[in-house]
Amino acid sequence: MKITVLGCGAIGRILIHALSVRGHQIQGWTKRSEKILKIKIVQVKNLNRIEFPVYANRRNFLKNTQLLIVTLKAHQVKKAIRSIQMFLGKECVILLLHNGIGTEEELHKINTNNPILIGNTTHSAYRKKETVFHIRKGVTTIGSTKKFNKKKFSLILKVLEEAIPIVKWSKRIHFSNWLKLSANCIINPLTTLKRCKNGKIKKYRETISLLCRELTMIMNLEGHKVKEEYLSKYVYEVIEKTKRNYSSMLQDFLNGKKTEIDYLNGYVIKRCKIHRINLPTNNFLYKEIKKIEK
């Protein structure tokens, strides 16, 4: 399969390596115009080091791309897709694989007619200069908000499952994304404000409890039935599994980059306005992150 990975950060580079090993034709697409990307990955668990070159930014390849995997930061997606959509074939499937919610709606506004899949992944990795450290393998969940069934995308599922197992198809992908969004709305801003690893925020139980209560409320109003106890358990499981990690938001902040707060807590605020409710703890975290971003 011909695949282009748009956004060659940590997860993007892991996907490039995994798919190229399975024999797929693949390229990276970046802001810069380099023709070759040098991929360097350290698999932390077994200390395996991988180095190899991969083609990048070839327009003719992009025109024949069957699958475009987008691993950019959420706030970068709309602009990046707009800049290349003239080169995409109508049958090219776009898979959005990033933190936060809201980019699918933005793509529809710029008349992107390609089939769109959305998803999330629990693979854990970070990038230091040109080297990616793959800390922990995870589960990738994908689905469609349109009335597309699993069979239509069976080839893509097979390709991804062979490259980065485990891959699951979810008929309730929005519920899955809201669960991850809720965890990120708690873990990312708290670790950024406290400048700590994920596991250290366990001591802020009262704040986490308030946030779980608020996020349960908005999830139910959005039609995703969930109990506060279930959401709380899920959040603490994520904290425990990633306790030695620095959150992506903290990494962005320390590196002087724009965070994804507008597509996490900021997205929650947008939905709250529609439902005419106020979530004060969520609002407080959003405002504090926006302050330090400046």
Catalytic residue list: 180
Q: d(Cα 276, Cα 61) in Å, to the nearest integer? A: 47
CA-based R_g, the chain, Å: 19
- 101: which residues sit within 8 A by CB, 6+ positions away? 177, 178, 181, 263, 267
Kindly write down the DSSP assignment for every residue of 173-234, as one continuous string: HHHHHHHHHHHHHHHHHHHHHHT--GGGGGG-HHHHHHHHHHHHHHHHHTT----HHHHHHH
Quick check: helix, strand or coil at residue 171? coil
Which among 61, 70, 56, 62 is positioned nearest to 106, based on CA atoms?
A: 70
Q: What is the DSSP letter of 86?
A: G
Tally Cβ neighbours within 10 Å of residue 186.
30
Q: d(Cα 169, Cα 81) in Å, to the nearest integer? A: 24
